[in-house]
Structure 1
Amino acid sequence: MEKAKLFYFYDPLCGWCFGFSPVIKALEEKFKKEIEFEAISGGMILGDRVKPLSSMHSYLRDAMPRLEEMTGVKFGKSYMEIFEEGSIALNSETPCIAMTVFKSMSSASSIQFASALQNELYVHGKDLNKLENYQSLASAFNLEWEVFSEKMNSDLYKTKTYQEFTTAQEMGINGFPSVVLQVGDKGYLIARGYRSQEEMEAVINEIIKKEKVN
């Protein structure tokens, strides 16, 4: 069986992706010898969907405790402070461009970068619309800041990012997190929304076993 590829469709502003992050990182660690992993940005909040965080207060006050209980992640104190203040704009564009730039500069895990990117918001409470807030993240992944910041401001990487959004749409991805396992010319949608690590491991093992037999 040729090496499979797993596509993790996520959005930096997706709370359930933040909750799913420990699962997808554990899966990469477990299956990295057999499966190549890649995070794909979804572009969840763009254009006329961009609104201040305060506009989501009612929904998120109900959703966040359930998310924490179900996934085991915890929203950081700094995030809760910006949540209560509510003025930060929810806009996927800049953090999604950051993923595109990262993948152009590094062969390190895009799964790990996606998680670290979300932690900047959901743990450390940073405004991901501001370029200067990416400097510590770039440093953590050994990315030269001058190159990173130049690419973040480039129309080329904005275009590449929107092409990635189109790829997700063409694959029928309309919710996050979603996970597609590709083996040869076959694609298996193995998650649409949050799934536990145990469930994910079971379905991946089943597919790998089936494909080896075939």
Structure 2
Amino acid sequence: MNPKELTLIYVWDAYCGWCYGFSKSLQAFHENHPELALTVLSGGLFVNNKKLPIASFPHIPEANKRISQLTGAEFGAPYQRLLEEGTFVMDSEAAAKGLSALRFFAPERSYYLASSIQHAFYYEGKSLSDPATYREIAIANNLDPEAVLARFGDVASTKDAHADFAKVQQLGVQGYPTLLLQKGDELIGLGGGVMTAEKIENRLRSVIS
């Protein structure tokens, strides 16, 4: 099959710890397949009535331990302090707007920008509702920080975030992280969770052979 007929869709949420854990596997797999375009869609894990202080989700510390054990992901001390303090509100809509603003200027680097967003939160303990976070990510990725911040504050990024949420619902994806292969009109699950790059690779081979 022509690789141009195959594309990848990655459904994630910036405030999803399992997505943070999956990022190394996905990066390794993605780097092995530059021929496959990768679209990143924000799922909207903490929106509307789920936009609550982090202490409202008592399962998170234990889940983080499992994520670290199974994937080797490191949670930074500033993030741990946020978790212990408990008042920080995870707002997936603001984070989806942040991704939208960044990827508008570098769509081909969407995955790396998404990964930078998660590093900012889970390692550096930075708010994904704070424009300053996206300024730093823009500078680190050689994007115009003022243009990114203008886009973040614009209604276009809100519409884009909502379009992502709608698309994820349309795809029927209910858990994150989920990596899909689009093969013509067909959508095939390639993996997520704690899958290694090698396992995703094997799954891809079995699907296209």
What's the TM-score, normalizing by structure 2? 0.94
| Residue aligning to 2:130 | 130
Q: Does 1:164 align with 2:164?
A: yes
Task: Report the AA paired with residue 121 of structure 2.
Answer: L
Identity, in percent, stands at 28
Checking the alignment, whether the CA contact within 8 Å between 1:176 and 1:193 is kept in structure 2 is: yes
1:39-54 map, 5 Å: 39-54=40-55
58-67 vs 168-177, greater mean Cα deviation: 58-67
Instruction: State the 1:60 CA deviation.
Output: 1.5
7, 13, 16: which one aligns with 1:5:
7
The 2-side partners of 1:192 and 1:175 are apart by 9
Task: Report the AA paired with residue 61 of structure 2.
Answer: R
* 1:109 aligned counterpart, secondary structure: helix
Q: Does 1:76 align with 2:73?
A: no
Checking the alignment, whether the CA contact within 8 Å between 1:10 and 1:176 is kept in structure 2 is: yes
Checking the alignment, whether the CA contact within 8 Å between 1:27 and 1:201 is kept in structure 2 is: yes
Q: Deviations over 1:3-48 (max 9, x none)?
A: 2101010000000000000011111101112x11121111111011
* 1:89 aligned counterpart, secondary structure: coil
| Residue aligning to 1:183 | 183
Instruction: State the 1:192 CA deviation.
Output: 5.0
Checking the alignment, whether the CA contact within 8 Å between 1:79 and 1:123 is kept in structure 2 is: yes
15, 20, 23: which one aligns with 2:22:
20
The 2-side partners of 1:23 and 1:136 are apart by 25
Structure 1: runs of 5 or more not aligned: none
Checking the alignment, whether the CA contact within 8 Å between 1:178 and 1:193 is kept in structure 2 is: yes
Checking the alignment, whether the CA contact within 8 Å between 2:103 and 2:113 is kept in structure 1 is: no
| Residue aligning to 2:33 | 31
1:58-69 map, 5 Å: 58-69=58-69
The 2-side partners of 1:163 and 1:194 are apart by 27
The 1-side partners of 2:113 and 2:137 are apart by 9
The 2-side partners of 1:168 and 1:72 are apart by 28
Instruction: State the 1:194 CA deviation.
Output: 3.3
* 1:187 aligned counterpart, secondary structure: strand
What's the TM-score, normalizing by structure 1? 0.92
Large movers: runs of 4+ above 3 Å: none
103-112 vs 12-21, greater mean Cα deviation: 103-112
| Residue aligning to 1:139 | 139
Q: Deviations over 1:61-110 (max 9, x none)?
A: 22111110001111011111111111110110111111111221114421
